[in-house]
Amino acid sequence: MMGSRQVEQGALFYNFSIGAHVPVDHLLRSIDRFVDLSELRGDLAPFYSSMGRPSIDPELMIRMLIVGYCFGIRSERRLCEEVHLNLAYRWFCRLGLDGDVPDHSTFSKNRHGRFRQSDLLRRVFETVLQRCMREGLVGGEGVAVDASLIKADANRQKGIEGEKGLPLEATGRATQEYLAKLDDGAFGAATEVTPKFISPADPAARWTGAHGGQAFFAYSTNYLIDVDNAIIVDVEATTAIRQAEVLAAKRMIERSMERFALYPARLMGDSAYGSAEMLGWLVHEHGIEPHITVFDKSARQDGTFSRDDFTYDHVRDRYLCPGGKKLTTTGTLVNDHATMLYRASKHDCAGCVLKLRCCPNTPARKVPRSIHEGARDMARQIAKSDEGRMSRRLRKKVEMLFAHLKRKIGRASCRERV
């Protein structure tokens, strides 16, 4: 017999527990056990007036942000709607069945105002990291660094020529933030090269063709991770060029030392971090082993001997050329005091049978050597070892986290600085 739904008079009272309707294996249940925002109110207190109507609870907004990040909800308006409708989100945000969800404009104002001024999101991030450290998830021995381009939500067709600069009428928040960052080494001061195009809607985004295809506006997100369990120990947003990414790596390493006493024994990274200066900074200033591919453009393409064909004698501080003659230095520094020149004698070169393969256009051969060449040699040695091979595998964990960010959390692009 076909049944039918009984339409009855609605009950006067319901016995309803919102928590009972959130599945035990729901992601938010797992997260909720570890979320501790007890210090949040104290951090934000200076940014609220002591008078007037009570504000929206900041903990509610942070919990909503966590929902947004976990489920790839990027629009503030949609996040407010989803939290309003979804029982699990309501439960996580402690809203109950009839709690009011803040208006999306209030949410947005707090996020871009108080939260940013108080650096609240970094505090939340650090609270999570400290918890990971207490749980023993961060070894602190080996860390890896990498950067990934995040496409800016800026229309590439509306870019204006970089040489012309921003129009005078551009005064929005994104422009103000861009102007405030002009002297920051991770943004405006990272390079003196004027970009080909600037986005008037998001001027801090950098025009880049780094992916090899069509150029676009982008930022870089930089991660420093502990390789034991791929825990992100620091993050920094920069403009999308290599110099800024290297600076971000230094900032993250120093910050994790200052804030959390994390002194890694080795840093893993690709050749973007393999400049002589960066390797010297790691080895000589911080005693960190560079498990990094050396950035080396000394190989010659014209068939003449490259620097690798000359053997450096550490004890006597001199090179031996393929003809067995010595190249010495006076110790004078050139190229911004970063390089020493080692010269062969004109007499040796003049009578050398290898001259055409060595220095066909000059009377004698000279070989430049960075003052950080010792650190580069160390990185080369490590790269050939089993440890180096293992490090190259481990550093792929950062790429996995970038894939997670872009594919699962849906942050392949952003509207402004992340």
List contacts with ligand SF4 (CB under 6 A).
321-323, 325, 344, 348-349, 352, 354-355, 358-359, 365
> Closest separation between CB of residue 376 and ligand SF4, Å?
22
Closer of 205 and 321 to ligand SF4 (Cβ): 321
**Rounded CA separation 162/194 (Å):** 6
Query: Which lies closer to ligand SF4 via its Cβ, residue 119 or residue 313?
Result: 313
Nearer of residues 162 and 322 to ligand SF4, judged by Cβ: 322
**Strand pairing category for 231-239 and 216-226:** antiparallel
β-strand partners of 143: 226, 267
> Minimum CB separation from ligand SF4 for residue 373, in Å?
18
Least separation in angstroms between residue 326's CB and ligand SF4 is 9
CB of 321 to ligand SF4, least distance (A): 3
Q: Name the CA radius of gyration of the chain, rounded.
A: 28
DSSP characters over 140-183: -SEEEEEEEEEEES--GGG-EEGGG---TT--SHHHHHHHHTTT
Give CA angle at 259 (257, 265), nearest 5°. Answer: 20
Q: How far is it, in rounded angstroms, from Cα 108 to Cα 102?
A: 10
Closer residue to ligand SF4 (CB): 211 or 347: 347
Q: Angle at Cα 333 formed by Cα 327 and Cα 339, nearest 5°?
A: 70
The distance in angstroms from the start CA to the end CA of the chain is 60
211 within 8 A of 193, measured Cβ to Cβ:
no
Q: Which has the closest alpha carbon to 81: 63, 102, 62? A: 102
* Helix segments in 301-362, DSSP class H: 346-350, 355-358
| Dihedral (CA of 263, 265, 270, 274) sign | positive
Burial category of 408 from C-beta neighbours within 10 Å (exposed 0-12, middle 13-18, buried 19 and up):
exposed
Amino acid at 214: Q
CB of 91 or CB of 342, closer to ligand SF4: 342
Tell me the closest approach of the beta carbon of residue 354 to ligand SF4, in angstroms.
4
Instruction: Provide the token pair at 297.
Output: 């453009």
Of 49 and 361, the one with the shorter C-beta distance to ligand SF4 is: 361
Q: How far is the CB of 355 from ligand SF4 (least distance, A)?
A: 4
Q: Cβ closer to ligand SF4: 205 or 358?
A: 358
Give the residue carrying structure tokens 């309003």: 84
Give the shortest CB-333-to-ligand SF4 separation in angstroms. Answer: 22
Provide, rounded to whole angstroms, the least separation between the CB of residue 125 and ligand SF4: 55
Minimum distance from CB of 324 to ligand SF4 (Å)?
A: 7
User: Considering beta carbons, is residue 204 or 344 the nearer one to ligand SF4?
Assistant: 344
Closer by beta carbon to ligand SF4, 302 or else 386 = 302
The kind and range of the H/E element at 370 are strand 366-370
Percent of the chain as helix, strand, coil, to the nearest 5:
40, 15, 45
Selection from 218, 175, 229 nearest residue 200 by Cα: 175
Choose between 150 and 358: whose C-beta lies nearer to ligand SF4: 358
If the CB atoms of residues 345 and 413 are measured against ligand SF4, the closer one turns out to be 345
Q: How far is the CB of 346 from ligand SF4 (least distance, A)?
A: 9
Tell me the residue type at 182: L
Cα distances (angstroms) measured from residue 117 to each of 58, 69, 372: 14, 20, 39
Q: How far is the CB of 238 from ligand SF4 (least distance, A)?
A: 42
User: Which residues are registered as beta bridge partners of 340?
Assistant: 333, 369
